[in-house]
A and B are shown apart, each in its own frame.
Chain A
């Protein structure tokens, strides 16, 4: 998820002009990684290789993203490339979800649908009301924010629903046996899973500006944008994140709930049963 978030934040900051810290600046910031490595050596944490690998990987990934963005975000560039990028992000997120929530029936198709619908709804609002210009420069980073921030919550809700369907089979079948529909019988488990996925995001939103300054805003300010403008962008991003997490997890949970029950309103059995 962090790759997506960082990419989105960086891309927003990238939109501002005059943000070049230069290769020397980049190299100096790398000194901080050396500090972390020294701490690992000193305290025998055995994390030196992981730290270096993470730092190099982030550097390469972001340089590639930055380079690729330069190719497609010009005002005259065709929308084909951002659309292709969007497709790639959707497929990658759905694939990642299917790997991390293995065992959930039809998880790949469902998550693809959930991310796509969530993007359509949330970005539809932002672009439909012309909060942002509809162009490659905005489509790719905003879609990255939608998909990236929804990923962890979608995996969580998927795992949680499967777990509930296996561990709470007795209670669910108890409700079915009373003549409740599958949707009614599974409602408490669905509610619980959605709350678990959404509450952390709500808490993060509440703490913003107090506990931590969010990445997009920091990026814009560092890039020389007026803090008042940066705040406005950040608020729209926070709302986008909340809206997309809520939409993705809801679509995903409704889809999974349907997969968990047969057309005869029977709770299906899964490998872990």
Chain B
């Protein structure tokens, strides 16, 4: 049996027991490039990402990461391999450096400055109170903080939804660099233009089920007008 080297989901049901949001998802998420997860509001995109970081457990079905069931892995170890970037960046108390040290306690200033540069933030922000950062700066700091754990994959839940053009561009460029350097991303997006700029693969979820999955070019040729709308066929 060939073991899938990324996330494998089989008949996954998740959300409130009385009214599940995901209703039987089966998919192998590629462990390369950027996989965009698209779908209407409430279709279960964020629920899916939370499952992959094991912030929630499914009601039914099975999720595997590199062949191992998630519930057989230590949650803290899994989460350090599977970084999560949230739509609303969670800012911790203290400076930017303090925030970095929550992720990795022994982060020295040299590595911290390197990470700031990596996400396009000025070195002068290192000792700035994190609460004083702008929305774009805070999101980039959170990306840098997540990358400090040296993750094998990055889960991003609409990370640019609240950002302006320039900040969005910086995050997108960083995502592409990460993917090219071998760190795959699973990226939830509402923005069809962004999806077309970034995605190698697209997972379309409608009403809690997989409506389509494949290369962007495959989905462009879908017979389903909903799927074609979700990927923004020109």
Contact = CB atoms under 8 A, between A and B. Distances in A.
A72 B100 CA distance: 61
Contacts of B92: 171, 174-175, 188
Contacts of B118: none
Contacts of A176: 55, 75, 79
A180 B76 contact: yes
A177 B76 CA distance: 8
A264 interface: yes
B183 to A, nearest CB: 16
A178 B103 contact: yes
A173 B80 CA distance: 13
A262 B75 CA distance: 11
Nearest to A172: B90
B145 interface: yes
A177 B143 CA distance: 12
Nearest to A263: B75
A266 B79 contact: no
Nearest to B70: A264
Interface string B157-181: 0000000000000000000000000
- Chain B interface extent, by class: 20 to 34
A265 interface: yes
Contacts of A173: 55, 86, 90
Interface in A197-216: none
B95 interface: no
A267 B50 CA distance: 12
B71 interface: yes
Contacts of A170: 86, 88, 90
Given A173-B90, A264-B57, A266-B54, A179 B149 contact: yes
The CB with the most chain B CB atoms within 10 A, among A178, A180, A262, A267, is that of A178
Interface in A244-273: 262, 264-267
B86 A265 contact: no
Given A175-B92, A188-B93, A180 B102 contact: yes
B202 interface: no
A264 B54 contact: yes
A265 B57 contact: no
A3 interface: no
Nearest to B77: A179
Nearest to A173: B55
Interface of A: 170-171, 173-181, 188, 262, 264-267
A-B CB proximity, top 5 nearest: A174-B90, A179-B80, A177-B84, A179-B79, A265-B75
